[in-house]
Amino acid sequence: MTQSAFSRADGALQVEGVSAASLADQFGTPLYVYSRSALTDAYKAYADACSGRRATIHVAVKANSNLAVLNVFARLGAGFDIVSSGELARVLAAGGKAENTVFSGVGKTAAEMREALDAGVKCFNVESIPELHALNEVARAAGKQAPVSLRVNPDVDAKTHPYISTGLKSNKFGVAFADARATYAQAAAMSNLDVIGIDCHIGSQITEVSPYLDAVDKLLDLVEQIEADGTNIHHVDVGGGLGITYDDETPPAIGEFVRAVLAHIDERGHGHREVYFEPGRSLVGNAGVLLTRVEYLKPGEEKNFAIVDAGMNDLARPAMYQAFHRMEAVEKRATKAQLYDVVGPVCESGDWLGKDRELAIEQGDLIAIFSAGAYGFVMSSNYNTRPRAAEVMVDRERARRVREREEVKQLFAGESIFPD
């Protein structure tokens, strides 16, 4: 938890200078709340560590794509990392620049490639030989050169959850390390591709520096081979994935991580190259909370259940990854604390947000679910025809709704009944 952004006054949770309970009263629940100061502080930690170096920060839009969140980073001078043309549209709408945007993703369509080329993105991170051919053809038809970096799979174990590990041989992402040198030779021979970099992304919620350094070593070995073959590599993209503290994890501080990677690249004699970082979770994760209200307290023979108005459709991570999010009552009560499984109203046994949580709560109370700024709202759905939550940003003592709560009628506005 970012102490400067989330604190308590007289026992009640505050978001910057605003009462969390007042936000729930004003905007309703479930409610995502983001702290602008927490977003800014996290970005500045990256920027300060990159100062004086040819190193750039590209915010991973998939972690949190709200326009207000992206605009905070755009105003700070960030670049962006996208995985769809929809995310490109969001970046541009939020004030970001295409020329500072890297287009990643394993399944880009020809239409998305054309949109990104027309917009003038900084680089395409290409993940397969068929994608190289497709991009070359799209660029040829457009009469343009597509700037290209290959995402190489270094087969490094990031020591994280298998669903968010992306750098092993068994993962779908990237070009196999053993094939990378030959693939670069093919890319360099294509008439409408301009090979400018190398890229990797080994996973997410990584809490050690050593896997990054192992991946960097393999990338730089490959760079030396590629340049010996006659293709110059201008930048090295080390991806994102730095973890945050959800419970008792102890990831390195942002500045410590960045400086360690840059120092390692220097030690290998590659300090003249530009370095890209693509952070997501470490920028936005602990800048957001999800507020939810207790609908019912249901005692059981083996479990006590706190049934809340947020469900797995609002926060998918616990059901999807068995992820832990710290929870606290928004307002402290004298009520005796009990162990509860905090569950939602969705008609699935997997609809839980936290298990065996010690909470002093009563029906109608508010619970804050922390570390919800990353992969929270962006992964939410309308399952059970549930409107998605509103989003609010707090800046000191000001709170502004930055996404309206959906209404049920919006959910089927594009549907029609088949005529007799």
Residue 255 is encoded by which pair of tokens? 């500045």
Q: Residue 347 catalytic?
A: yes
Q: What whole-number distance in Å separates Cα of residue 360 and Cα of residue 267?
A: 53
DSSP alpha helices (H): ranges in 288-360?
A: 317-321
Residue 241 is labelled as binding a ligand: yes
Task: Scan for tokens 């992304």, then name that residue.
Answer: 201
Q: Which residues contact 88 (CB under 8 A, 6 or more apart)?
A: 82, 98, 101, 103, 115, 116, 119, 121
Mode of pairing for the β-strands spanning 12-15 and 6-9:
antiparallel
What was the pLDDT predicted at 139?
A: 98
Q: How far is CA 106 from the centre of its chain?
A: 16
Residue 312 is encoded by which pair of tokens? 């797995």
Q: What whole-number distance in Å separates Cα of residue 265 and Cα of residue 283?
A: 23
pLDDT in tens, the chain (420 residues): 445 799 999 999 999 989 999 999 999 999 999 999 999 999 999 999 999 999 999 999 999 999 999 999 999 999 999 999 999 999 999 999 999 999 999 999 999 999 999 999 999 999 999 999 999 999 999 999 999 999 999 888 765 444 444 444 546 678 999 999 999 999 999 999 999 999 999 988 999 999 999 999 999 999 999 999 999 999 999 999 999 999 999 999 999 999 999 999 999 999 999 999 999 999 999 999 999 999 999 998 899 999 999 999 999 999 999 999 999 999 998 889 999 999 999 999 999 999 999 999 999 999 999 999 999 999 999 999 999 999 999 999 999 999 999 999 999 999 999 998
Task: Scan for tokens 């549930």, then name that residue.
Answer: 386
What was the pLDDT predicted at 165?
A: 45
Residue 280 is labelled as binding a ligand: yes
Residue 209 is encoded by which pair of tokens? 């520096």
Residue 375 is labelled as binding a ligand: yes
Q: How far is CA 50 from the centre of its chain?
A: 20
Residue 61 is encoded by which pair of tokens? 């839009």
Choice among 50, 123, 200, 347 that is catalytic: 347
Residue 281 is labelled as binding a ligand: yes
Task: Scan for tokens 């990797």, then name that residue.
Answer: 200
Residue 321 is labelled as binding a ligand: yes
- Phi and psi of 121, rounded to 5°? -65, 160
Q: 370: closest CA among 18, 38, 28, 10? A: 38
Domains of the chain: 6-35+286-411 (2.40.37.10), 36-284 (3.20.20.10)
Residue 167 is labelled as binding a ligand: no
Residue 317 is labelled as binding a ligand: yes
